[in-house]
C-alpha cells in the first residue's frame, strides 16, 4: 500500500479552497446564492478533511455557524462599532467581531 503524501494533499486542498471561494464569490455576485453557499460549504469540508486552515481574508466571507457565503447587505449585516467591525449572519444570527487595525506609529519601531 502506498504512503500518503500529506504535504502534497494539503497543498492541493488549499488550492481547491481558494478556487471554491472564487467560484462562490462569482456566483454570489450573479445572485445564485444556493450555488455560492454550496461552494462555501464544500470549501469548509475540504479544510476539515485535510486539516487545512482557511486564510483570514476568506474566513470573513462565510459564516462558520451555517456555512453560508456572506454578502454584506444581502444576507449579513456589517456595522462599525467603536474599534471593531461587527458582522451578523441573517440566516443563523451568529455574529463576528473583528478589530479595526490601525497603523502603527513610525516612532514605536
pTM over 0.75: yes
Q: Is the pLDDT of residue 2 over 90?
A: no
Asked, for residue 61, whether it belongs to a domain, the answer is yes
Domain extent for 18? 6-108
Asked, for residue 1, whether it belongs to a domain, the answer is no
More confident residue, 101 or 39: 39
Count of domains in the chain?
1
CATH, residue 90: 1.20.5.420
Beta strands at 84-89 and 76-81: parallel, antiparallel or unpaired: antiparallel
Please tell me whether residue 14 adopts helix, strand or coil conformation: helix
* Per-residue model confidence (pLDDT) at position 33: 92
Helices (H), the chain: 6-30, 33-49, 56-59
Question: Phi and psi dihedrals of 90, rounded to 5?
Answer: -75, -20
Amino acid at each position: 500500500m502506498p504512503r500518503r503524501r500529506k504535504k502534497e494533499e494539503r497543498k492541493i486542498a488549499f488550492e481547491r479552497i481558494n478556487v471554491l471561494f472564487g467560484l462562490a464569490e462569482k456566483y454570489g455576485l450573479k445572485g445564485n446564492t444556493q450555488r455560492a453557499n454550496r461552494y462555501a460549504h464544500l470549501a469548509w469540508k475540504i479544510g476539515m478533511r485535510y486539516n487545512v486552515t482557511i486564510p483570514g481574508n476568506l474566513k470573513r466571507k462565510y459564516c462558520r455557524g451555517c456555512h453560508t457565503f456572506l454578502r454584506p447587505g444581502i444576507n449579513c449585516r456589517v456595522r462599525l462599532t467603536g474599534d471593531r467591525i461587527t458582522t451578523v449572519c441573517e440566516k443563523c444570527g451568529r455574529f463576528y467581531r473583528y478589530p479595526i487595525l490601525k497603523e502603527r506609529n513610525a516612532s514605536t519601531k
